[in-house]
Each structure stands twice: as C-alpha cells, then as structure tokens.
C-alpha cells in the first residue's frame, strides 16, 4: 500500500516540478477548483457515479480478455475511480492516480488510507502531459473527466501512450457540447446577469474541450493510439436538492466567478442560479441528463 505519500518511486519522478506547460490549469486546480472539489467530494462522487460504473464495466470487459495488473487513472482528483478500479483488480492489481492538484491528491491519499489500506494504490502529483511515465508499464489507462485540460493534448496522449504496454487499453469519459448539457449552461446564463463571462474558444482546454469528437479522434490518432472508438454515453445524474447550494458554491463554472465578487453579489448569483435550475428539481432531488463521450482506444 502506498497511498500515504506516493513518494520515492519511479512513477513520481519530478512530481510537482513539471507543470509549466499547464500553469493556468495547475493554478486553478491547486486553488479554487481543487479546494471546491475537495469540499464537495461526496456530492461529486455520488453525482458522477454512473461514469465510474461505466468505466468499471469497461475495465471488467478488458479483464475478461486478458489480465489487467497495472492501471493509471489520469486526472484522478480525489481518487474515487482509482480506488474503485483497485477494488475491481484486487490483490494482484497496482493502481496509480496522477493529478496536477495537490489538495485533491491529499484528500485522495487520506481516503485511500482510510478505505483501501489493503490495496496497492499510489497517488502521484504531476502534470500528466509532461510527467515521465515508466515505459510500457500500464495495462490500462482510465479517466473520468480528467483529460480535457491539457495545453497540448497530442503531446499529453503521446506521453500516456509511452507508459502503456503494447495492446494496452485506454478508456475515458468527457463531456459533449454545452448545448447538449444545458444543466451546465443554465447556471452560467443566470450568472451572466451579474458578471461578465469570458468566451471559451472551441477545443480550448476545459470542461468542454473534448466536445468535438473529430478533434478527439485527431488527438488520439496523432498521438499513436489505434482502434479509436468514440461513442455517445448518456446518463442521468442526480443529487439531493439540499446539496445544490454547496455544489454551486464549490464546483463548476459559476463557482469560479464567485471569488471576484462581493458577498451580496455572490448571494444574488447563487439565488438566481438556483431559480434557473428549478426545472431540474424533482421531489427532493436535482437530476439532469448528461451527454458525454465514452472514448476507447488501444496502444
């Protein structure tokens, strides 16, 4: 078990020192976004559970064909999918979660210490685009919404490709377009009454950076992956309505606007957003349809 520190192994060579290429994202995920995700970890893990389940089904299908002993979880955040994969792989498995966010990894490490002491899990603080991975080491790479943030996605996926064994598999989920995910855009529209929202260029690193499947296909083919499959994955996500205020304060695009406004404007933004999300309220739950890609490829 190595969840405590993740230090002193080949896999964390240069940890924390190679983030220059993704400075902006590093700042975000080590600052407001990382702290928000730690704060909202339980809510987020429940909300995003259908994606974890789908990735585990994918892992199980690969394990039915050949052993999966080593797995890398990219942009693992607070570690839910890393621990779930480690449980699925059992005593013979070794799982590594890599992330650029120190606060999220610290949370992941203490969760693994408390919940998965008997499993071989290691958390590495590094930029997955630049970090020197052990060559031909992994059987499987997974990611739940952790791969859309690279400044140079082709370089990042070529780097991930270098760490996987020949024939090894990649499976990740990423959001489709904002138009297909109105639950994500409604809050931003509500907030736009109060603050200026900077435009996001298409394919720019961020939540919707992989919305265009042609772009994703181009990235994977250019970085040496084969048998690329990109399929829609639609599911329903839900959370108790009582968690909505916390969710909006801590996670997602609206939360990132809040540190720059005074307390009364902050309240107005959150109240307006909660009103705008009223159609998503059913009994005591908020639920919405999520439109994503399930992306699979082989090395």
Ligand X SMILES: C[S@@+](CC[C@H](N)C(=O)[O-])C[C@H]1O[C@@H](n2cnc3c(N)ncnc32)[C@H](O)[C@@H]1O
By CB under 6 A, name the binding residues for ligand X: 22, 25, 29, 44, 48, 75-78, 80-81, 98-101, 104, 127-129, 144-146, 149-150
Q: How far is the CB of 258 from ligand X (least distance, A)?
A: 18
Q: How far is the CB of 88 from ligand X (least distance, A)?
A: 16
Nearer to ligand X, 128 or 299 (CB): 128
Reduced to 3 states (helix: H, G, I; strand: E, B; else coil), residue 282 is strand
Tokens representing 202?
């298409």
- What sign has the CA pseudo-torsion 117, 119, 123, 124? positive
Nearer to ligand X, 151 or 230 (CB): 151
Nearer to ligand X, 144 or 296 (CB): 144
Nearer to ligand X, 44 or 272 (CB): 44
Q: How far is the CB of 128 from ligand X (least distance, A)?
A: 4
Q: How far is the CB of 265 from ligand X (least distance, A)?
A: 26
Closest CA to 255 of 38, 46, 36, 45: 36
Q: How far is the CB of 247 from ligand X (least distance, A)?
A: 13
Nearer to ligand X, 22 or 70 (CB): 22
Give the helix/strand (H/E) hosting 121.
strand 120-125
Nearer to ligand X, 208 or 272 (CB): 208
Burial readout 249-267 (b: 16 or more C-beta within 10 A, e: otherwise): bbbbbbbebbeeeeeeebe
Phi, psi of 275 (to 5 degrees): -60, -45
Nearer to ligand X, 122 or 127 (CB): 127
CA distance 108 to 78: 4
What residue spans of the chain are helical by DSSP H? 23-30, 32-39, 41-47, 49-65, 80-89, 102-115, 153-162, 182-191, 213-222, 244-250, 263-276
Q: How far is the CB of 75 from ligand X (least distance, A)?
A: 3
Q: Exposed/middle/buried for 287, CB within 10 Å: 0-12, 13-18, 19+?
A: middle
End-to-end CA distance of the chain: 28
Q: How far is the CB of 82 from ligand X (least distance, A)?
A: 9
């Amino acid at each position: 078990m190595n969840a405590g520190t993740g230090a002193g192994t080949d896999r964390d060579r240069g940890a924390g020192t190679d983030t220059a290429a993704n400075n902006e994202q590093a700042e975000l995920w080590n600052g407001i976004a990382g702290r928000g995700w730690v704060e909202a970890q339980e809510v987020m893990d429940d909300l995003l559970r259908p994606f974890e389940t789908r990735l585990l089904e994918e892992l199980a299908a690969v394990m039915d064909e050949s052993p999966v002993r080593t797995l890398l979880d990219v942009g693992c955040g607070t570690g839910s999918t890393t621990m779930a994969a480690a449980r699925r792989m059992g005593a013979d498995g070794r799982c590594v979660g890599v992330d650029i966010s120190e606060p999220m990894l610290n949370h992941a490490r203490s969760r693994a210490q408390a919940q998965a002491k008997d499993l071989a899990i290691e958390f590495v603080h590094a930029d997955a685009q630049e970090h020197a991975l052990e060559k031909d080491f992994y059987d499987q790479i997974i990611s739940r919404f952790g791969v859309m943030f690279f400044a140079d996605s082709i370089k990042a996926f070529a780097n991930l490709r270098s760490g996987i064994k020949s024939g090894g598999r990649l499976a990740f989920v990423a959001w489709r377009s904002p138009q297909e995910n109105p639950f994500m855009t409604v809050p931003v529209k509500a907030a736009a009454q109060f603050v200026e929202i900077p435009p996001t260029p298409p394919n720019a690193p961020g939540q919707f950076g992989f919305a265009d499947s042609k772009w994703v296909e181009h990235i994977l083919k250019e970085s040496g992956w084969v048998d690329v499959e990109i399929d829609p994955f639609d599911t329903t996500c839900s959370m108790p309505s009582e968690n909505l205020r916390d969710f909006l304060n801590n996670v997602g695009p609206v939360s990132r606007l809040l540190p720059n406004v005074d307390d009364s404007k902050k309240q107005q933004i959150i109240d307006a957003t909660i009103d705008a999300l009223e159609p998503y309220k059913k009994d005591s739950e908020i639920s919405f349809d999520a439109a994503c890609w399930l992306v699979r490829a082989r090395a």
